Amino acid sequence: MMEFLIVAFAATLIYLSAAHRFRVFARFMGAQGVLIFGIALLELNEMATANLVLVVAETLLFKGIIVPFMLFYIIRRTQVFKVHAQATPSFYILILNAAALIVSVVIAYTLQNPYINTVFMTVALYALLSGLIIIVTHKLIISHLIGFLIIENAVFLFTIALGNEMPALINIAMLLDIFVGVLIMGFFGMRLKPDTGDLTQLKD
């Protein structure tokens, strides 16, 4: 079951790299939240009630429901539906993504030791690189936020890869990061867009 969830998570990264509609981004971010919740629930076998509540709040509630809802809200308000300003064509982004997958598996194997779960390490590295690739290959700020959220998910997987415990402090810090990211995005999207009309580029 665990392998199913982690492979499904990796598959969402492929589709996120190929996506060019923000609705698809929002849906896949929600799916990633639900998958991460499943992974955390199955993998973290010794968890205090408070920590469990925090993990549920962070993954299922926040990443799985609130973040996609906010993204959909931002998309509706800003009326920006498509990634029409990519620095690199989608085809090359996918090639970079495939390269990232290979690099991740090689690095995970190089770092192999009894304390690191290789499968989680591979997918976490892959998620990290995928998020970075999305950030550097897209121009619109919403895409950058998506890349940032993917990196947050990667950090979550890293903590699982390194053991069966997850310090509450890391959880809280990550929650704050996501909250600030989405909040800033919402601020940019909803405050700036109405004033700029249909201007989409600096040269306009």
Partner 1 sequence: MTAVLFPGIIVRAKSIFAGRKGPGLFQPLKDVMLLFQKGNVISTTTSYIFKIAPAIGLASVLSATLVLPFGPFPALISFNGDIVFFAYMLGIGKFFLIIAALDTGSAFEGMGANREALYSLLAEPAFFILAGTLAMLTGYSSFNEILIGLYNPDNSYILIYSIISVIVLAQIMQVENSRMPVDDPKTHLELTMIHEVMILDYSGFDKALIHITSWLKFALYSTLIFDVLIPVQWDKGIQFGLFAIIAVSLAVYIGFIESFKVRNKIGRNPVFLFTISVLALLAFVVVLVLTEKMILS
Q: How many residues would you count in the chain? A: 204
**Residues with Cβ within 8 Å of residue 28, at least 6 apart in sequence:** 12, 15, 16, 19
Residue number, 12 or 59, with CB nearest to partner 1: 12
Would you count residue 170 as binding partner 1 (CB under 8 A)?
no
Would you count residue 90 as binding partner 1 (CB under 8 A)?
yes
Would you count residue 54 as binding partner 1 (CB under 8 A)?
no
Residue 163: which region, alpha, beta or left (left: phi > 0; alpha: psi -120 to 50)?
Answer: left
Q: 12-41: which residues touch partner 1 (CB under 8 A)?
A: 14-15, 17-18, 20
Q: 102-141: which residues touch partner 1 (CB under 8 A)?
A: 102, 105-106, 108-110, 118-119, 122
Q: ∠ CA(72), CA(9), CA(132), 5° rounding?
A: 70
Q: What is the distance between the alpha carbons of residues 124 and 93, in angstroms, rounded to a whole number?
A: 19
Would you count residue 86 as binding partner 1 (CB under 8 A)?
no
Residue number, 20 or 193, with CB nearest to partner 1: 20
* Lookup result for tokens 């929650």: 175
* 147's tokens: 């890349």
Interacting residues toward partner 1 by CB under 8 A: 3-4, 7, 10-11, 14-15, 17-18, 20, 90-91, 94-95, 97-98, 101-102, 105-106, 108-110, 118-119, 122
